[in-house]
């Protein structure tokens, strides 16, 4: 079973005409049928929540043909829902309320075919959100649906024991050898240092005894201090992770010490070193920090707080900035090519002449942002908020963005998605 994308797109176009009322009616229907769910939203600003829900639906429908972009966003959304106290059984009432609302707004266009298309889509969305939440899709929600938009075809199941036996028998010798060596390496890192030192000394002594005294190797190994040299070398290797840990600890201390400090060159170096060492910078709090020219290419900065920070000319290409707070950040001339900026807050950010080509900006808030002269070629702006965004002279060639999203943006001299140059009507 595959999703009926055309039906989804066409029916959603009709709903989009009454977008605001649709979202309000959805919550009305949800709470009317399930008053017990209302307390989940007691601290929620419902007006902004309605907009968020709608944006996420726009995002889903617009990217339904682009599962690579959609999958991580939905998994992350599902993971965030765990924090809102959402358990799998709540997905069913939400699905029912959504279907009732669609029926209400589509009226005669709510055919069995449209209903099935949305039911399948919701099942696929739920499966991914629950996967992100660390739970497999509940059978109560999924029921008879056996495939999702993005899931691979399910293989016929073999009995578990048979699978296991075939695995063992079919394993060639080099795989067994590989497994043993992996086990030995794991044991090397887990075992206490004193034990490794003794084992190294014993093994070395055995080799010395076995090797012919008159051979070149025998002479080299025979030197008195060879044992201590070998043991020292083994210990040096064994303690590498501890040294790395210590380095990470020191680097994080530098970053923490610079909290609330505007200018800290040490923090820039520490962040770059941590990133180079593959350490995640997720949730970093560096609001207001001066980070001009910093190189954080490929960094994991999801959920980072970089509000009002100065990232002028920074290299953030391929960085993960999903859900990051970059409001009022200075990002002019920054390299954000192929960066992930889904749901990021970029209100009033200065992205003048920034490189955002191939960036994923789905549902990002770019209201009042300065994107004059920015390169947004092949970027994805579905569901993004571009209210009063400045895009004069920007390159929007092949950018995924709708006219509605651009309706209140300033676009003088911009290269539009189809390659044409924007000219104002007056
Ligand atoms: C199709 C499935 C769903 C979609 C697309 C969706 C979408 C969203 C979005 C976009 C947000 C805004 C916050 C964020 O991005 O993390 C949100 C928040 C929230 N959602 Fe959902 N949601 C879904 C399912 C559910 C379900 C099943 C429940 C359970 C009743 C639920 C309850 C909530 C609550 C309580 C919040 C937090 C509001 C706050 O910020 O206080 N959602 N949802």
In a domain, 148, yes or no: no
Tell me how far the alpha carbon of residue 53 lies from the centroid of ligand 1, in angstroms.
Answer: 7
pLDDT the model gives residue 15: 87
Lowest mean pLDDT among 137-151, 258-272, 315-329: 137-151
Q: Is the CB of 91 under 6 A from ligand 1?
A: yes
Task: Please say which residue of 190, 216, 240 terminates a domain.
Answer: 240
Examine the domain organization and report whether 266 and 223 are in the same domain.
Answer: no
Examine the domain organization and report whether 228 and 264 are in the same domain.
Answer: no
- Count the neighbouring beta carbons within 10 Å of the beta carbon of residue 311: 28
Residue with the larger pLDDT of the pair 192 and 384: 384
- Count the neighbouring beta carbons within 10 Å of the beta carbon of residue 106: 17
Q: What is the mean pLDDT of residues 141-145?
A: 39
Task: Please say which residue of 176, 209, 240 terminates a domain.
Answer: 240
In a domain, 192, yes or no: yes
Task: Indicate whether 87 pLDDT > 80.
Answer: yes
Nearest atom, ligand 1, residue 77 CA:
16
Lowest mean pLDDT among 149-153, 178-182, 313-317: 149-153
Q: What is the mean pLDDT of residues 379-406?
A: 90
Tell me how far the alpha carbon of residue 94 lies from the centroid of ligand 1, in angstroms.
Answer: 10
Examine the domain organization and report whether 85 and 166 are in the same domain.
Answer: no
Give nearest CA residue, ligand 1 atom 6. Answer: 53
Q: Is the CB of 282 under 6 A from ligand 1?
A: no
pLDDT the model gives residue 426: 54
Tell me how far the alpha carbon of residue 60 lies from the centroid of ligand 1, in angstroms.
Answer: 14
Tell me how far the alpha carbon of residue 152 lies from the centroid of ligand 1, in angstroms.
Answer: 26
- The reported pTM is 0.53
Structure tokens at 137: 């899709």
Share of the chain above pLDDT 90, in %: 44
Q: Are 80 and 410 in contact (CB under 8 A)?
A: no
Q: What is the mean pLDDT of residues 301-317?
A: 95
Examine the domain organization and report whether 417 and 373 are in the same domain.
Answer: yes
In a domain, 347, yes or no: yes
**Which of 29, 84, 133, 137 should be mutated for ligand 1, with most atoms under 8 A from CB?**
84
**Which of 56, 80, 138 should be mutated for ligand 1, with most atoms under 8 A from CB?**
56
Examine the domain organization and report whether 207 and 254 are in the same domain.
Answer: no
In a domain, 151, yes or no: no
Examine the domain organization and report whether 410 and 309 are in the same domain.
Answer: yes
Tell me how far the alpha carbon of residue 38 lies from the centroid of ligand 1, in angstroms.
Answer: 12
In a domain, 154, yes or no: no
Tell me how far the alpha carbon of residue 327 lies from the centroid of ligand 1, in angstroms.
Answer: 22
Examine the domain organization and report whether 202 and 319 are in the same domain.
Answer: no
Question: What residues have CB less than 8 Å from 130, skipping those under 6 apart?
Answer: 78, 88, 91, 136, 137, 138, 141
Q: What is the mean pLDDT of residues 191-211?
A: 78
Q: Is the CB of 84 under 6 A from ligand 1?
A: yes
Give nearest CA residue, ligand 1 atom 9. Answer: 53
Positive or negative, the CA dihedral 358, 3, 94, 16 is: positive
Examine the domain organization and report whether 117 and 56 are in the same domain.
Answer: yes
Task: Please say which residue of 142, 177, 207 terminates a domain.
Answer: 142
Range of the domain at 267: 241-426
Examine the domain organization and report whether 255 and 204 are in the same domain.
Answer: no
Task: Indicate whether 150 pLDDT > 60.
Answer: no
Examine the domain organization and report whether 224 and 256 are in the same domain.
Answer: no
Examine the domain organization and report whether 274 and 406 are in the same domain.
Answer: yes
Number of domains the chain contains: 3
Q: Is the CB of 27 under 6 A from ligand 1?
A: no
Nearest atom, ligand 1, residue 37 CA:
30
Examine the domain organization and report whether 28 and 73 are in the same domain.
Answer: yes
């Amino acid at each position: 079973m595959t999703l009926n994308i055309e039906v989804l797109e066409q029916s959603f176009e009709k709903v989009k005409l009454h977008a605001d009322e649709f979202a309000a009616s959805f919550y009305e229907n949800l709470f009317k049928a399930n008053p017990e769910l209302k307390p989940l939203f007691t601290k929620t600003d419902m007006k902004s929540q309605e907009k968020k829900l709608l944006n996420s639906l726009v995002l889903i429908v617009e990217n339904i043909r682009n599962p690579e972009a959609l999958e991580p966003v939905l998994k992350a959304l599902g993971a965030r829902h765990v924090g809102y106290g959402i358990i799998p059984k709540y997905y069913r009432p939400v699905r029912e309320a959504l279907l009732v609302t669609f029926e209400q707004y589509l009226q005669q266009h709510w055919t069995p075919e449209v209903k099935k298309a949305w039911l399948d889509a919701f099942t696929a969305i739920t499966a991914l959100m629950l996967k992100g939440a660390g739970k497999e899709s509940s059978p109560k929600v999924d029921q008879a649906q056996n495939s999702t938009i993005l899931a691979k075809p399910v293989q016929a199941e073999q009995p578990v024991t048979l699978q296991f036996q075939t695995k063992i028998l079919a394993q060639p010798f080099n795989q067994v050898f590989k497994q043993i060596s992996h086990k030995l390496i794991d044991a090397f890192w887990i075992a206490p240092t004193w034990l490794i030192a003794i084992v190294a000394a014993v093994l070395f002594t055995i080799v010395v005894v076995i090797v012919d005294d008159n051979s070149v190797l025998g002479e080299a190994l025979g030197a008195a201090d060879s044992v201590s040299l070998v043991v020292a070398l083994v210990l040096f290797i064994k303690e590498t992770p501890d040294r790395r840990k210590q380095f990470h600890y020191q680097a994080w201390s530098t970053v923490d010490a610079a909290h609330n400090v505007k200018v800290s060159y040490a923090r820039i170096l520490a962040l770059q070193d941590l990133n180079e060492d593959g350490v995640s910078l997720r949730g970093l709090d560096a609001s207001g920090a001066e980070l001009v020219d910093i190189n954080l290419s490929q960094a994991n900065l999801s959920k980072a707080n970089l509000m009002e920070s100065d990232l002028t000319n920074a290299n953030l290409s391929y960085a993960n900035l999903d859900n990051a707070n970059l409001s009022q950040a200075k990002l002019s001339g920054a390299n954000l090519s192929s960066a992930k900026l889904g749901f990021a807050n970029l209100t009033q950010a200065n992205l003048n002449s920034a490189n955002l080509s191939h960036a994923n900006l789905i549902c990002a808030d770019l209201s009042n942002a300065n994107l004059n002269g920015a390169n947004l070629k092949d970027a994805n702006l579905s569901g993004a908020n571009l209210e009063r965004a400045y895009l004069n002279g920007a390159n929007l060639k092949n950018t995924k963005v709708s006219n509605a999203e651009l309706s209140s943006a300033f676009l003088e001299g911009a290269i539009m998605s189809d390659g044409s140059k924007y000219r104002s009507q007056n």
